[in-house]
Amino acid sequence: MEMIRLFDIRTIFLMLPITAILFGLVLWLGPKRDRNEGLQRWIIGLVCVGVSWSLMATRGHLHPAISVAFADGLMVAALSAQAGAFYEFKYQRPPSRKTLIPAVVLFLIFLTIPLSYRTYTLLGSFTISVPLLIMGYLSWGLGNTAARIPMAVFYTLGGFLLQARALHIWFSTETNLNFFTAHPLHVFTFLNSFAMTISGSIGFLELQRWRAEKRIRHYAMHDDLTGLLNRRAFFKLAQRELGRAKQKHSAMAVMMLDIDHFKRINDTYGHFTGDIVLVEIANAFHQCLREVDLLCRSGGEEFMVLLVGVSQESALEIAERICDSVSKLKIKGVEHAITLSIGLTMCDASSDESIDKGLQKADEALYEAKRGGRNRVVVAEAAQQHSPA
């Protein structure tokens, strides 16, 4: 404990603003684009935290209106901004501006009401601890990355240390307590604040990188318009499902689907309306398929589906349900009937037949459905047509 008391609180206070402001400036001087998902709010909060620490270090030298009232109010506002950055990152929307109200109230109280050191420490510390505890709580759900763990630990610990420090000062019998007293609890509180600044900034950047990589992986595997799998991702996942089906000796089915007379819809209503039709049809597919099934937009108005662990009767039932669901779609501004033609075939997982061969058979059945009048399902093996009721 004696070693802890050797720490100079003012030296720690010198480290705190320098670290916070340097991190903020480095982030500010970085790429100006894509400062969303809380990054802009985080940078502003980080710089304000550094300014607040600097003002707190001047207590006893500058007027209390600046070194106490404004400094503590700015700290609450800065930490609220950083908590807002966490909120924006997690929920993809900015927080309410009402979160700054506690900072304004605290500033006005400290500015207008004369308080003892014990009272303002209790009030200020408990107010400042609230955004820290919120950040500690939000950190656990910010993403699948290890960076959130030290953030959650240090922010939660920081909130509780501030409260413990305030209670210690309130109930302490010492008469020489002040803001820079080198009590072990005070030292741990401010050292933890230093750790919060470092782990929070590095952690938030790591979360930004994780989110960016996740988005890149999504775009690499999905169609931009409909959000469905693209061809490359479909075949990759389909081969994996084929391997599983071989091990389990289960059946699979593949479907080729095509929107009937889609060119006429584009020519009549425009490509923007055509895109809306594609999105609505993709949503209808999702309503009819199971989570284990694979759904792909293979290009234009064509789609591919892999049905996992189904019999031919079940696959036919799903295909007819899709066909019927699309035919009942009502899209604002589109007077033409929207229908599908579907080719269906079973895949024998016990043989070496590839997904490509199954899709080739389904494609032949699809064209048979087109020649048979459209708005129907054709099963490749039996060359049997099925029209929705």
Task: For residue range 82-111, list pLDDT tens digits in order.
Answer: 999 999 988 888 888 888 888 888 888 888
pLDDT interval class at 363 (50, 70, 90): very high
DSSP 11-53: HHHHHHHHHHHHHHHHHHTS--TT-TTTHHHHHHHHHHHHHHH
Q: What is the pLDDT of residue 225?
A: 92
- 228-249 per-position pLDDT tens digit: 999 999 999 998 888 888 787 7
The burial class, CB within 10 Å (0-12 / 13-18 / 19+), for 4 is: middle
* Residues contacting residue 3 through CB under 8 Å, at least 6 positions apart: none
For residues 295 and 280, what is the distance between their CA atoms, to the nearest angstrom?
A: 14
Q: Mean pLDDT over residues 279-308, rounded?
A: 93
- 20-32 per-position pLDDT tens digit: 888 888 888 776 6
Q: What is the pLDDT of residue 273?
A: 92
- 69-85 per-position pLDDT tens digit: 999 999 999 999 999 99
Among 322, 327, 367, 312, residue whose Cα is nearest residue 343: 367
**What is the residue type of 227?**
G
Q: What is the pLDDT of residue 285?
A: 94
Answer yes or no: is pLDDT of 59 > 70: yes
Q: Which range in 12-16, 97-101, 175-179, 196-200 is most confidently predicted, on average pLDDT?
A: 196-200
pTM, two decimal places: 0.73
Give the count of alpha carbons within 13 A of 298, CB side only.
Answer: 16
CB atoms under 10 Å from CB of 255, counted, come to 28
Q: What is the pLDDT of residue 175?
A: 61
In the block, residue with structure tokens 């047509």: 385
76 and 47 in contact (C-beta within 8 Å)? Answer: no
Q: What one-character DSSP code corresponds to residue 260?
A: T
Per-residue 3-state assignment (H helix, E strand, C coil) for 355-388: HHHHHHHHHHHHHHHHHCCCCEEEECCCCEEECC
Question: Which residues is 69 bridged to in the sheet?
Answer: none
The burial class, CB within 10 Å (0-12 / 13-18 / 19+), for 317 is: middle
Q: What is the pLDDT of residue 353?
A: 62
Q: Write down the H helix ranges in the chain.
A: 2-5, 9-28, 39-56, 64, 71-91, 101-112, 117-139, 148-171, 184-221, 231-248, 262-269, 271-288, 312-327, 355-371
Task: Supply angle C-alpha 145, 146, 151, rounded to 5.
Answer: 110
DSSP 56-73: HTTBTTB-HIIIIIIHHH
- 33-44 per-position pLDDT tens digit: 666 778 889 999
Answer yes or no: is pLDDT of 389 > 60: no
Strand order from edge to edge, sheet including 384-386: 294-299, 302-308, 252-259, 340-347, 376-379, 384-386
385 and 369 in contact (C-beta within 8 Å)? Answer: yes
User: Average pLDDT, whole number, for the chain?
Assistant: 86
Q: What is the pLDDT of residue 281?
A: 94
Helix (H, G, I), strand (E, B) or coil at 347: strand
For residues 205 and 23, what is the distance between their CA atoms, to the nearest angstrom?
A: 11
- 120-163 per-position pLDDT tens digit: 888 989 999 999 999 999 988 887 788 889 999 999 999 999 99
Q: What is the pLDDT of residue 98?
A: 84
For residues 367 and 256, what is the distance between their CA atoms, to the nearest angstrom?
A: 10
- 1-17 per-position pLDDT tens digit: 455 455 567 777 778 88
Q: Mean pLDDT over residues 251-266, rounded?
A: 92
Answer yes or no: is pLDDT of 384 > 80: no
For residues 307 and 145, what is the distance between their CA atoms, to the nearest angstrom?
A: 33
Q: What is the pLDDT of residue 151?
A: 92
Q: What is the pLDDT of residue 176?
A: 66
160 and 141 in contact (C-beta within 8 Å)? Answer: no
Q: Mean pLDDT over residues 192-203, rounded?
A: 89
For residues 300 and 83, what is the distance between their CA atoms, to the nearest angstrom?
A: 44
Q: What is the pLDDT of residue 32?
A: 65
For residues 4 and 131, what is the distance between their CA atoms, to the nearest angstrom?
A: 27
**What is the residue type of 330?**
K
Pairing of strands 340-347, 376-379: parallel
